[in-house]
Chain A
Amino acid sequence: MTQATQKKAILSIEHVAVHFGGLVAISDMTFDVKEGELLSLIGPNGAGKTTAFNVVTGFLRPTKGEVHFRGIPLHKLKPHEIASTGLVRTFQKTSLFTTNTVFENVLTGLHRHGNASSWATLLALPSMKREEAQLREKVWEILDFIGIAHRANELGGSLPYGEQRLLGVAVALAADPSMLLLDEPAAGMNPSETADFMALLAKIRKRGISILLVEHDMPLVMGVSDRIVVLNYGKIIANGTPAEIQANPEVIQAYLGQGVKHAAA
């Protein structure tokens, strides 16, 4: 995907810093995601990856710096307003409407598609009924796309863990994103589920959705990413293609410690 690097940035993060009191979670972070690109954000535990996610999606305010999505400054918007710009996230901890069925989860996710007014709802106008029927159609399309249509009538919370993660992605996709932020989507998946998930990522990208991925599963990251940004102690230590990152001595040191150099030598 070399042409992706020539495209313009869809998300740009400029000199973002996040301090929790005296603790510096992110000291200075600058990178951008190009249109259609899949960029992975990796780093050891506590490097600030999820903090970066929370800043971009408005769940945290940055101490310094700015975030722009398609030219819109995000740092003053509320989370639901950011989602309305087309930037939609998933959560690290499995996050579902657990007591609702899979179908209802996705139907709720389609919130942004509907625009029936309160009056149309209270008066049960035909326009509102038409909209409902269209939303229900859409739910099936998304469930087919993700491949969990056979689970439609089961409760979200009763699915096997891997499918719960998929449902999380389905709910996010229902919100009609132009960019998706996935926080450790493959955590807890077995190898065959991970392989399926890689295929799903490719399918999502074919729809022109840019992806920012935080993930610990290195084979997955190396396999799907156009570019990788490595965070350590709240600082970016590397930014490049998977091949460049794998060869970067600073990254190896951050992940494996000093000893490896000697062992390799």
Chain B
Amino acid sequence: MKNVWTIIILAVLLTVPLWLTDQYYLHIVITTGIFIVGAMSLNLLLGYTGQLSLGHIAFFGIGAYASALTSLGFNIPVFWSDEFRIIVEPSHPALGILIGTALAGLCGYIVGKLSFKIRGAYFVIVTVSFAEVVRLVALNWVDLTQGPLALSNIPPAGYNLPLLGEATFWAKTPNYYLVLALALLSYVLIRRIVHSRMGRAMIALRENESLATSIGIDVTRYLVFAAVMSAALAGAAGALYAHYIRIIDPDIFLFIYTVTMVIMVVTGGKGTLAGPIVGGIIFGILPVGLRTVAGPEVQWIVYGIAMILIVFFLPRGIVPAVVDWWYRRTGKAPTHTRTQPPSQDSGDGKTGSNWNGAASEAMLTSKALSRD
């Protein structure tokens, strides 16, 4: 049943450019997709470790700028003199996207390390400050970023591979597939993380940090890991954005974009895999529907009201509310079930369950049986 749904959803996603022929709508889908990747990456930090990164757009912007600059090349003076210059020749956009992703991940590592003991409000302040510093650098380092004049003529993404030949993604359709590939990759990676021992450590940090440390979880390590993954995925999304829109300016670091991602995560359901996707679709598509009937100011008011209503009536977000409703209706909640009969524990510590020592005979035989 679950597999059927996966195939249906994949089939729909893969055929979007075939039935959505209006280029404007396809453009909306692409930008929404990019923001959904941003929201998914934010959700790893906010939803699973419980730490709100209110400067998340900084990682997105760093990915965008790094990728754009790698593919455009740059020529900047060092030590404020014209004698020493760093000259970087233009490279292929694919390399730019990789560098953008890596640099954003590195920044995530630094922010994670800086805030190794900082939680809650203090983590928020560190991330907000970080984003503001990055925005000011992008605005004022005119030699590198052109400042408010914007980096323009960014080459579109593409590939140049031995067997497939060369292609440049001028059209919307290949860009759609590129974004879809990144979104699917992000989804799979995040799902693997949160369903693993690492994800449990992150949730333990969110739920009860002192209990987590008391059972031997190095919470800082997992917070840093989550920050790196989250920042790298946001950076990758930013890089795709730069090569798709083909012009970026320091406004990309505006606080409102972080807020948009937070709204997507919170209304969709933080700490759920589908939450940021649902929230992203709602707040990515809503502006299009409103465009014909309302001006931008009215749109913001409608967003605000929608957000307040969702948070007020569904405090945990849309996805958990729907899931709960479904379980109540069908009476089938997911449960953990045994794969082998209960062990007979007589309490003498020798014949019973043996979680404290090496694998017991019972465990070994059950493993041997399950192998054939």
A residues sitting closer than 8 Å to B (CB atoms) are 57, 59, 78-81, 83-84, 88-91, 95-101, 103-104, 107-109, 111-112, 114, 116, 118, 121-122, 124, 128, 131-133, 135-142, 144-145, 149, 152-153, 171-176, 199, 202-203, 206-209
**B-chain residues with CB within 8 Å of residue A132 when the two chains form the complex:** 196-197
Most buried by B among A59, A122, A149: A122
Partner of A79 from the list B189, B197, B213, B347 (CB cut-off 8 Å) is: B213
B residues sitting closer than 8 Å to A (CB atoms) are 189, 192-193, 196-198, 200-201, 203-204, 207-208, 210-219, 225, 333, 335-336, 338-340, 342-343, 345, 347-349, 352-356, 363
In the assembly, what is the distance between CA of A176 and CA of B354, in Å? Answer: 11
Decide: B356 and A137 in contact? CB cutoff 8 A.
Answer: no
Decide: B216 and A138 in contact? CB cutoff 8 A.
Answer: no
**A-chain residues with CB within 8 Å of residue B349 when the two chains form the complex:** 203, 206-208
Decide: A152 and B336 in contact? CB cutoff 8 A.
Answer: yes
In the assembly, what is the distance between CA of A239 and CA of B143, in Å? Answer: 74
**A-chain residues with CB within 8 Å of residue B352 when the two chains form the complex:** 145
Task: Give B198's nearest chain A residue, CB to CB.
Answer: A121
**B-chain residues with CB within 8 Å of residue A152 when the two chains form the complex:** 335-336
A to B CB contacts below 8 Å, 13 in the list: A79-B213, A83-B215, A88-B214, A97-B211, A111-B215, A132-B197, A138-B355, A142-B353, A144-B353, A172-B214, A174-B215, A174-B355, A175-B215
Question: Assuming A83-B214, A118-B225, what are 6 further A-B pairs, CB within 8 angstroms?
Answer: A80-B219, A97-B207, A111-B197, A122-B193, A145-B355, A153-B336
Decide: A100 and B215 in contact? CB cutoff 8 A.
Answer: no
Partner of A95 from the list B198, B208, B363 (CB cut-off 8 Å) is: B208
Given A140-B342, A209-B356, verify A107-B217 contact (CB < 8 Å): no
The 10 A-B residue pairs with the shortest CB-CB distance in the complex, in nearest-first order: A83-B216, A141-B353, A206-B349, A175-B215, A79-B213, A97-B207, A114-B197, A103-B336, A121-B196, A153-B335
Partner of A96 from the list B193, B208, B218 (CB cut-off 8 Å) is: B208
Given A111-B200, A141-B353, verify A171-B211 contact (CB < 8 Å): yes
